[in-house]
């Protein structure tokens, strides 16, 4: 019996699960167990505190013999976890050869994208194999930026118009295809552009991803096989913030591709933040208000830096650097709303918006598509309704503080009614609007 050939069942399984996932899962399990131990100890200490018993040297830690027991449990958990991780690190290369893996299934890639969105910063910090590296992709494959000759061979048919697409939170590049439609493929055919898709870890800070995108585009533009005349950035949701971060980085550091950037299009981008993340932060504050619930706040604090950046739509490092992501700032910041502005201009009590204003880039035609589940526009539609995740005002860059207002031209804004956040990716009406904006003047569709 010939056992040298891989079995179809094995190949099918490896499209979803790989041997290296065992090590990644072990790391996550060890981290989760440590967090659970910390929560249990925190609740225990809250009860001890009510009885007047001493606390440990760290917040939410018990003291005395009880603290030593918890420390012992924590130490054993980490010791076993590190031991197994070291063993797997030595054994897995013998049985897990990435070069022999079949193409990953869309289901696997979707799960990895969601996992990275929720806790991608922790995955990267701990060296977890499931952390998503940044890639530029063309026709479903990674572009080898480190091999210029092969890159130019892969892009032999490239046009002078580069269309770069950036996906949203917990998503990846393959999910631009929705209900049989892909804005990238549609625009590429209609405009004669070459679509390149960015795949990135959406759990990282938006500014971090933007900086990496800027550097990758600099390398791509340097080796583009055709005379590069124009670049268009198309971002969905968080992808729009990453596009703004990349543009800002390129402008500040003098990257060459910035001068070729002609258009930026935002689909449902939370320029002024997302209400759901602000609600999550509010829950953090409420849980931290009492000693008995404070330990459970750690569960909410597992969410990634990418998610917390959506609280106000952070784009630069300075927006978040040096500040506690889950804290409740009591003192007003230097960037708080001016006198007379509504509290929402500063994010409300304990939710201060620390961003320095970053206007839309000069010399670039910028367009915003906002969606709403409502059938028509009105006061409630603007203030309460949105696409299910992002409000109309945020997607259109509107803010109560004039300094933070993003000024889109009147004909550079479009509202899609009866449309949800993900439906922006498949809406034929939105696709036609994109074409109206991006087509050369002589080829533009008439309303």
More confident residue, 265 or 2: 265
What's the whole-model pTM score?
A: 0.77
Residue entry with tokens 């201009």:
345
Query: What is the per-residue DSSP string for 58-88?
Result: STT-B-HHHHHHHHHHHHHHHHHHHHHHHHH
Give the residue, 431 or 388, on which the prediction is more confident: 431
pLDDT, tens digit, for every residue of 208-218? 999 999 999 99
Instruction: Order the strands of the 194-199 sheet from edge to edge.
Output: 141-142, 135-138, 194-199, 161-166, 230-236, 261-267, 365-372, 413-417
- Beta-carbon count within 10 A of 100 CB: 9
Q: How do residues 101-136 score in pLDDT, each as one tens digit? A: 556 678 878 888 988 998 889 889 888 888 899 999
Break the chain down into helix, strand, coil percent, rounded to 5.
Answer: 50, 10, 40
Question: Which of 99-103, 296-300, 319-323 has the highest average model confidence (pLDDT)?
Answer: 319-323
| Four-residue CA torsion sign, 193, 196, 202, 206 | negative
Q: What is the pLDDT of residue 274?
A: 85
pLDDT tens figures, 155-192: 999 999 999 999 999 999 999 999 999 999 999 999 99
Model confidence over 149-163: pLDDT tens digits?
999 999 999 999 999
Query: What are the structural domain ranges in the chain?
Result: 9-99, 104-447
- Per DSSP, the three-state class of 313 is coil
Residues whose CB falls within 8 Å of the CB of residue 283, separated by 6 or more in sequence, listed in order = 300
pLDDT score at 128 = 83
* The pLDDT value given to residue 175: 95
Highest mean pLDDT among 53-67, 299-313, 422-436: 422-436
423 or 349: which leads in pLDDT:
423
Q: Which helix (H) or strand (E) holds 163?
A: strand 161-166
> Which of 367-371, 398-402, 404-408 shows the lowest mean pLDDT across its residues?
398-402
Secondary element (H or E) of residue 231:
strand 230-236
Domain spanning 104-447, CATH architecture: 3-Layer(aba) Sandwich (3.40)
Angle ∠(260,262,265) on CA atoms, nearest 5? 135
Q: How far apart are CA 59 and CA 44, in angstroms?
A: 12
Q: How far apart are CA 173 and CA 153, in angstroms?
A: 22
Task: Select the highest-mean-pLDDT range: 88-92, 107-111, 424-428.
Answer: 424-428
Backbone angles phi, psi at 428, to 5 degrees: -65, -30
């Amino acid at each position: 019996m010939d056992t040298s050939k891989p079995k179809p069942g094995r190949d099918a399984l490896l499209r979803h699960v790989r041997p290296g996932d065992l090590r990644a899962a072990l790391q996550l399990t060890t981290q989760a167990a440590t967090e659970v131990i910390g929560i249990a100890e925190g609740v225990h200490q809250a009860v001890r505190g009510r009885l007047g018993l001493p606390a440990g040297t760290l917040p939410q830690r018990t003291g005395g013999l009880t603290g030593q027991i918890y420390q012992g449990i924590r130490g054993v958990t980490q010791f076993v976890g590190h031991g197994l991780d070291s063993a797997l690190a030595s054994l897995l290369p013998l049985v897990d050869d990435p070069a022999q893996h079949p193409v990953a299934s869309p289901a696997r890639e979707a799960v990895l994208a969601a996992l990275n969105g929720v806790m991608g910063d922790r995955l990267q910090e701990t060296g977890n194999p499931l952390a998503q590296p940044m890639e530029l992709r063309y026709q479903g494959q990674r572009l080898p930026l480190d091999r210029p000759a092969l890159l130019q061979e892969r892009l032999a048919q490239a046009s002078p118009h580069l269309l770069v697409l950036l996906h949203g939170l917990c998503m990846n590049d393959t999910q631009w295809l929705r209900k049989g439609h892909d804005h990238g493929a549609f625009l590429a055919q209609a405009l004669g552009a070459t679509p390149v898709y960015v795949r990135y870890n959406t759990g990282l800070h938006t500014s971090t991803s933007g900086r990496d995108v800027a550097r990758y585009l600099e390398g791509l533009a340097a080796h583009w096989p055709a005379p590069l005349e124009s670049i268009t950035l198309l971002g969905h949701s968080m992808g729009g913030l990453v596009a703004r971060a990349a543009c800002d980085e390129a402008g500040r550091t003098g990257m060459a591709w910035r001068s070729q950037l002609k258009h930026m299009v935002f689909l449902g981008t939370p320029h002024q933040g997302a209400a759901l993340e602000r609600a999550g932060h509010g829950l953090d504050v409420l849980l931290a208000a009492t000693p008995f619930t404070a330990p459970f706040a750690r569960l909410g604090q597992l969410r990634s830096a990418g998610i917390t950046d959506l609280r106000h739509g952070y784009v630069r490092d300075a927006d978040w650097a040096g500040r506690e992501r889950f804290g409740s700032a009591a003192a007003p910041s230097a960037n708080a709303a001016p006198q007379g502005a509504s509290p929402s201009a500063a994010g409300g009590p304990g939710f201060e918006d620390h961003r320095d204003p970053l206007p839309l880039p000069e010399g670039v035609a910028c367009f915003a598509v906002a969606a709403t589940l409502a059938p028509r526009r009105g006061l409630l539609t603007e203030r309460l309704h949105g696409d299910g995740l992002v409000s109309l005002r945020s997607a259109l860059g509107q803010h109560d503080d004039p300094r933070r207002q993003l000024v889109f031209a009147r004909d550079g804004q479009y509202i899609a009614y009866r449309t949800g956040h993900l439906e922006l990716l498949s809406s034929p009406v939105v696709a036609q609007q994109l074409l109206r904006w991006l087509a050369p003047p002589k080829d533009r569709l008439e309303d």
